[in-house]
């Protein structure tokens, strides 16, 4: 995985986008030596988002199995 400082990445932006889009490379962007962002192929992003969706669905199913909260109780807690 390549690493570029943000200043260098700005200067090489078109080349980095091509490397990511056409060669499937991943590029970590750094500022003052610390990783702050990454350029990844769209396929990688889709896999990451699918994993997040799966985790969200699992969390929602867990919440659904818990005892429901009554609307009257919510209003009372909020003083409505």
Q: What is the mean pLDDT of each run of 10 residues along the chain (80 residues)?
A: 96 97 97 97 96 92 84 93
Distance CA 42, CA 48 (A): 10
Residues 50 and 26 in one domain: no
Region of residue 31 (phi > 0: left; psi between -120 and 50: alpha; otherwise: beta): beta
pTM higher than 0.85, yes or no? no
Give me the number of domains the chain comprises: 2
Residues 3 and 35 in one domain: yes
The parent domain of residue 35 ranges over 1-40
Distance CA 12, CA 34 (A): 19
Mean per-residue pLDDT of the chain: 94
pLDDT of residue 57: 92
Residues 50 and 35 in one domain: no
Question: Under DSSP, is residue 59 helix (H, G, I), strand (E, B) or coil?
Answer: helix
pLDDT of residue 66: 81
pLDDT of residue 62: 87
At 7, which CATH number?
3.40.1620.10
- pLDDT over 90, % of the chain: 82
């Amino acid at each position: 995985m390549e690493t570029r400082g943000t200043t260098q990445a700005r200067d090489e932006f078109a080349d980095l986008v091509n490397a990511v889009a056409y060669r499937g490379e991943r590029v970590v962007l750094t500022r003052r030596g610390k990783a702050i962002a990454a350029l990844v192929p769209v396929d990688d992003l889709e896999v990451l988002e699918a994993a997040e969706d799966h985790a969200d669905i699992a969390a929602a199913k867990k919440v659904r199995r818990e005892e429901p909260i009554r609307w009257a109780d919510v209003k009372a807690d909020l003083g409505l």
